[in-house]
Structure 1
Amino acid sequence: MLPWVLDDHDLGFLKKYPPEKREDALQSLLVSNRNSFKVPTISIFVEYGIFISLILACGLVHYLPRLFPTACKKLQPKLAPIRTHLLEAPLLGRRNAEPIPLFGLRWLTFQMPLRLEGIVLLALFLINLLPITAFYTTLAAEHNPRYPGPHSHRQQMQRYLADRTAVLAIGQVPLLFLMAGRRSPTTLVSGLSMNAIMLYHRWIARMVWCQAFIHAVAWTVIRIDQGRLVKMYQTPYWNWGVAAFMMFGGLIFLSLRSLRQKWYECFVFLHILMALLAVVGIYFHIHLLHSSSFRLFVIMTEITAAIWAFDRAIRFFNRLITSVQLRRSGRQLVKVASADVEFLANNKVARLRISLPAWRVQDGTQSDVPGLVPKLAAGYSIMLSVPRLQIVGDHPFSIAKARVIRDPKSEERAAFIDVLVNIQGGMTKKLLSLAGSKDIEGLALSRSLSVIVDGPYDHQLSLCATDHLLLYAGGIGVTYCLPFLEQHVYRGKFKTCKLVWMLRDLDLLEVLDEPLGELDAAADATKAKLFIDVYHTASRASEKGAPIATLEEVPAELPSSLSSSSDLTPQEEKSITGGLDDDDDEPAEKAEGGGRTANEGVLKRRWRNITFNVHHGRPDGIRHLDESVAASRADSLSVVCCGPRPLCDWARNETLQWRREREWADIDFHAECVLW
């Protein structure tokens, strides 16, 4: 039943008045229902319509290039102005990935959306604001038996405001949970990245909490005027509402970027628990009123609970089929996925080689095989948890490598995926402590751990309409770029492919030793060529961007570790004119023991199909495809960036400027930067 339609309770209310006042009482009920329920409910339905339309539109934009790559390739140059000024440009200024401190407070930050995202958020804000501030109708006190007396107008406005904000908040809770689940229909249909999904999720949550706050304050004032506030705390429905409000307030506070980054595992656990308690509180807050007019809002709450349960069930089932295998024979009937941990780059990076069922993995050397259940492939994101290191909470990682092999012992097909983990704090630091420190000779340590894999998440970036590919990586962000190098070498997907890698510690070059060796060997058959430029950003020895080493000019002893031991991170990287200038560079130090350094295998190897150069400082600009790499400027180019937030913003702004100059037929940009 629609909440503004009169029900039996309302008809019983009318019978309490004498016949001569029933006409005024009926008019009072109709006006009250219109103001309290009809206006905000229609606003919610309008918001649902806009939401569905936007999701379908995003789905078309995401999937059409995969279905019709040739037609989309011809259409893209015509849409370049829209992409440049609307889809890919920040709303204001030059920052999108890097948070902006509010009022000079580092712990209170704001993420600047892209322009189209800003327009959507503005529309969402107006849909929430207009029903609260407009379309009110009140009756005069002499014609309103429900609100007689000199304060009739104020009492009516208080009640209508309290009811409207409640309807708006409850109506948006299903949208809030749809934008939170990684396995929700919204994510699957729209093709939106997790960063975009989380952006809308956070803003909807803030609006829901603001409306709940207004609802709570308005009803508190009403009960104080009636002298019944203390008595209300003795009623179950009121206390359930207070509990739900407190849970939403706690969710908003704990979602502050500074808190969730510092205590990520605690944030995940409390977020799940408090979200569930908030839904339970809303349900009983409405259900215990025992009003048939509120049946619609009870259904909305039940839909919210179903969305939450569906996401949790799918994720549990996905973890089960991916991470747990049943054996027909042997002592161990149940086998949990295991990861062989190897520490690289002087224990700054851990490589987790996770053994998985072959049917769940897509080999990076083979063409993609479409299916109903997406396979784990290089370039996808996974959520990884190590039970020995943490009880709850999992962490996002990109798959650097995926292979399906033949087990030499059993002759059965087996598979594994590689994940590169930058050793910092939290779970990654515990991972290093569990395996122990490096041995006396500085050799890499290894250990096998049971892991739980959940994924794949996000959508694998499709570059089917691209002729040339330019990759930018910062620090461990090179993990995201490795699958594109595989696509170029094994499948010949691009005419040219170049990687520009910026890092503060040359020890990180060791993570490329094995992948580049395989690609170089495979390129003998495919005749593919790779171009790699490494920029060592923590050295003052040379002029900015000047080459310091080629294949024939590698010194006998190379720097192994820096006094600043971590790689390029948002906290360490200054944001000056795009976030890439750094005046705190320190000279490199030699490796301990004077033996073979972690990066020497990459630099001293003689590549046959890879042009490998190392430079000091930072690149002067983003235009790294010269005539030897890209012969035709009539082709299309894609710029893909993964790394610290300042790097992603710099690459975005440089690419937009490059597109405006129209040196290429079309330039596309994609950034992979965890913002949530």
Structure 2
Amino acid sequence: MINRGAHFISGLLNRKPLPATIRAAQAVMKAYISLPALFSHQTAEPGICGIIPPRLQSLTVICFVAINVILCCVRYQAFSGNLYWSTPQLQVWRYVSDRTGVLAMSNLPLIWAFAMRNNLLMSLTGWSFSTFNIFHRWVARVATIEAIVHSIGYTVFSFLGWYNYDADWKEQYWWMGVIATIVMSLLCVFSFYPIRRYTYEFFLLLHIAFAVLFLISMWYHVAIFAGEYNVFIWPCVAVWCFDRAIRIGRLVFLNLPSFRATATYNQDANSIRLTIPTRSLLRPRPGTYYYVYLLRGIKLWESHPFTLASWSSKQLANGSNIQDLAFMVRPYNGFTARLRDHILQKGEEINGHISKLSVRMAIEGPYGTPYDLSKYSSILFIIGGSGITVALSHLQALLESLKESQNKEKHSGVHSIRLVWAIRGAALFDDVFQQDLLEWRTPSSLTRQVDFRMDVHNTGAAMPATQLNGQIEIAQIFSHRPRVHDLIMECAEEWHARHEKMAVVCCGPGTMVDDARAAVVAAVGKGYDEINFHPEMFHW
């Protein structure tokens, strides 16, 4: 909530000069707390155990772990002559087992709340679903360790003679507790990053099945307390049901009854365009994402998130208005590969390299924490590959903002936009350049208000000039990777000299996002404090 409050206050004061002391404090916060990676500069590029979140989120996790460790370790008062457990050794084992068990139970609602798509805490804090996914995993790991200590403690306690160990296994609460601990441990084991990344569908189904089994086993494990500990189980069920109800509601109210969409696959660009008609209930916002369901086969429940690329409105013959939401998808494996193969097999071939097909689809959304770039004077997009969808949605929103300002006879605050895009071939560039950047590459009273520049870094095959179809004036073509650090420092120095507030939006490979983050931190450290960084990454 502190993070959300800081963003809110920053937005209110966005166009007003801040006192020097507040600006200095804000710069220190950015340079040392909110923006940097925890140790080096790696935070978006995953390692064997997943990603290491940025410093502020990492400190939050560290504080949570520290609180749990402290609560597990302090104030055990063991003494001789205890009426229940005669030796201090027995007392310590019993106290440790009880406390770790209660702490593990108390963490359960957090585990479920942080895992849901419809998480109210995202709106309160301004943190993303990916961030809360990290919190979800760390709370689960801590709770699992506490459950293991709880189980080991009671096992030792029983062996030391207070109970009959063999007789304990005949008690329902005992073996249900064993099942719960084993299931929690397996949930953690099967949640390692390589499993989530390469076999996500298997991970998800196993995760849900084990979660249900865990709640059932916990219910019977604590049944001997006559409902005293059900206060930690029912919130998990309630949060889960609430999330599913909201998801169903989003599906019902957003999608048209036909559930039809148009899917176009460009073989040269290896890119799928999805155009999905929806009800005009909400105004689309840039940077948001939707979960897409392919209503085909037996995996009707399967959905995957895709960032909104563009939108348009139209009126049907019956007078009703609908919105077409467009997405660009790069097929890899699993869901996207099956969609590509389905289009190639059943679709109509156009121009030899494009296949088009009407498919049954549904979308659920919007999700994400959108932000308004029209409040900035200068905007730098650093994009890799299919991450161009983030830039396209913001560019459309900026055009709409320019039109609104023109209609109100006001001058827009946006002066400069620079789009740096790294791609591996000409086909994707040509597809986007011709279809999505038409208004920006066509001089008009709107686009003349903004200095729009585009740097295309082609790291694959050579890009012939004919690909640009004579529209080369807004784009510069390079045959090397973008030097992210130099680009950000150059723009920061130039725009800081003009006293312009700057936004850096980055969406691409993890190394690119990490380099951009490190460069923004370095720029803030040099005194270019009027910079805000917006990384766009989605991690499971």
User: TM-score scaled to structure 2, two decimals?
Assistant: 0.89
2:384 maps to a residue whose letter is G
> How far apart are residue 414 of structure 1 and its match?
1.7
- Answer whether contact 2:507 2:536 (CA < 8 A) is retained: yes
Q: Which residue of 1 aligns with 2:453?
A: 531
Distance 1:121 1:626 in 2: 34
Q: Alignment partner for residue 207 of structure 1, among 125, 133, 142? A: 142
Q: Which residue of 2 aligns with 1:87?
A: 34
Is 1:257 matched up with 2:204? no
Counterpart mapping for 1:423-442 below 5 A: 423-436=331-344, 439=349, 442=352
> How far apart are residue 675 of structure 1 and its match?
2.3
Distance 1:80 1:673, change over 3 A: same
> How far apart are residue 628 of structure 1 and its match?
13
Is 1:59 matched up with 2:4? yes
Q: Alignment partner for residue 232 of structure 1, among 162, 168, 191? A: 168
Q: Which residue of 2 aligns with 1:513?
A: 434
1:165 maps to a residue whose letter is T
Distance 1:132 1:449 in 2: 54
Instruction: Please state whether the residue corresponding to 1:131 is helix, strand or coil.
Output: helix
Q: Which residue of 2 aligns with 1:502?
A: 422
- Answer whether contact 2:286 2:397 (CA < 8 A) is retained: no
Q: Deviations over 1:451-481 (max 9, x none)?
A: 2211111111233542100000001011111
Q: Alignment partner for residue 340 of structure 1, among 262, 273, 293? A: 262
Distance 1:404 1:626, change over 3 A: same
Distance 1:162 1:653 in 2: 44
Distance 1:240 1:317, change over 3 A: farther
- Answer whether contact 1:489 1:523 (CA < 8 A) is retained: no
Q: Alignment partner for residue 422 of structure 1, among 305, 330, 353? A: 330
Q: Deviations over 1:557-614 (max 9, x none)?
A: xxxxxxxxxxxxxxxxxxxxxxxxxxxxxxxxxxxxxxxxxxx3xx11426xx61111
Distance 1:125 1:412 in 2: 53
Distance 1:111 1:523, change over 3 A: same
Distance 1:76 1:247, change over 3 A: farther
- Answer whether contact 1:337 1:451 (CA < 8 A) is retained: yes
Distance 1:114 1:635 in 2: 26
Distance 1:659 1:631, change over 3 A: closer
- Answer whether contact 2:275 2:326 (CA < 8 A) is retained: yes
Counterpart mapping for 1:68-467 below 5 A: 69-71=14-16, 78-100=25-47, 108-140=48-80, 143-148=81-86, 152-226=87-161, 228-286=164-222, 288-291=223-226, 295=228, 297-323=229-255, 325=256, 335-344=257-266, 346=268, 348-360=270-282, 362=283, 376-388=284-296, 390-407=299-316, 409-436=317-344, 439=349, 442-467=352-377
Which moved further from structure 2: 487-496 or 170-179? Answer: 487-496
Q: Root-mean-square deviation (CA), in Å?
A: 2.6
> How far apart are residue 665 of structure 1 and its match?
5.3
Distance 2:57 2:353 in 1: 49
Which consecutive unaligned segments of at least 5 residues does structure 1 have? 1-55, 101-107, 326-334, 363-375, 542-548, 557-599
- Answer whether contact 1:265 1:394 (CA < 8 A) is retained: no
Distance 1:605 1:529 in 2: 20
Q: Deviations over 1:616-671 (max 9, x none)?
A: 01223224866998595321211110011111001111122122223x45111111
Q: Which residue of 1 aligns with 2:522?
A: 657
2:520 maps to a residue whose letter is T
Q: Which residue of 1 aligns with 2:378?
A: 468
Q: Percent identity?
A: 23
Distance 1:478 1:201, change over 3 A: same
- Answer whether contact 1:535 1:615 (CA < 8 A) is retained: yes
Q: Deviations over 1:168-216 (max 9, x none)?
A: 1011111121211121221222221122211211111110111011111
Distance 1:671 1:67, change over 3 A: same
- Answer whether contact 2:492 2:523 (CA < 8 A) is retained: no
- Answer whether contact 1:172 1:204 (CA < 8 A) is retained: yes
User: TM-score scaled to structure 1, two decimals?
Assistant: 0.72
Distance 1:419 1:317 in 2: 22
Distance 1:459 1:358 in 2: 20
Instruction: Please state whether the residue corresponding to 1:246 is helix, strand or coil.
Output: helix
Distance 1:186 1:628, change over 3 A: closer
Distance 2:128 2:68 in 1: 25
Distance 1:258 1:271 in 2: 15
Which consecutive unaligned segments of at least 5 residues does structure 2 have? 403-412
Count residues in correspondence: 520
Q: Deviations over 1:263-306 (max 9, x none)?
A: 122222222232233223222211x2135xx72x2212212221
Instruction: Please state whether the residue corresponding to 2:487 is helix, strand or coil.
Output: coil
2:438 maps to a residue whose letter is G
Tell me which protein shows more helix as a share of its residues: 2
Distance 1:317 1:352, change over 3 A: same
- Answer whether contact 2:492 2:502 (CA < 8 A) is retained: no
Q: Deviations over 1:95-141 (max 9, x none)?
A: 011123xxxxxxx324223222222222111111112222110120x
- Answer whether contact 1:269 1:392 (CA < 8 A) is retained: no
Choose 1 or 2 for highest CA Rg. 1
